[in-house]
Amino acid sequence: MGKVAAVYNLMPEGTEVAMEGVAAKIPEIAPEGVKIVKMETKPFAFGLKVLVATFLLDDVEGIIDRLEASLQGIEGVQNVESVSVSLI
């Protein structure tokens, strides 16, 4: 079975959202077969910060959809943007 590398930007609902708190929730909600490689908070615009999360996933059907749905379900996250998805 192959592996997939995926990078996502998680955008907050507003400047009051602590992205460190969002990052702390990701290990709890990540589907089985998803390994968190790296999480980094970066300045975005107008005082907003974006969480850039890198994952290593098993190459199985539907895992990307499950991961994205889990990330969208985190309180305080307005948008989840796929930056890159690559088979490795």
pLDDT in tens, 21-39: 999 999 999 999 999 999 9
Which residues of the chain fall short of a pLDDT of 70?
Answer: none
pTM of the model: 0.92
Q: Which amino acid, residue 59?
A: D
Residue 65 falls inside a structural domain: yes
Look at the chain and report how many structural domains it folds into: 1
Residue 4 falls inside a structural domain: no
> What CATH number does the domain containing 63 carry?
3.30.70.60
Q: What's the pLDDT at 62?
A: 95
DSSP string of 30-87, one letter each residue: PPTTEEEEEEEEEE-STT-EEEEEEEEEE--TTHHHHHHHHHHTSTTEEEEEEEEEEE
Sheet holding 34-43, edge to edge: 34-43, 49-58, 3-12, 77-87
Range(s) of the domain holding residue 32: 9-83
Q: What's the pLDDT at 71?
A: 98
Measure the CA–CA gap between 72 and 66, rounded to whole angstroms.
Answer: 10
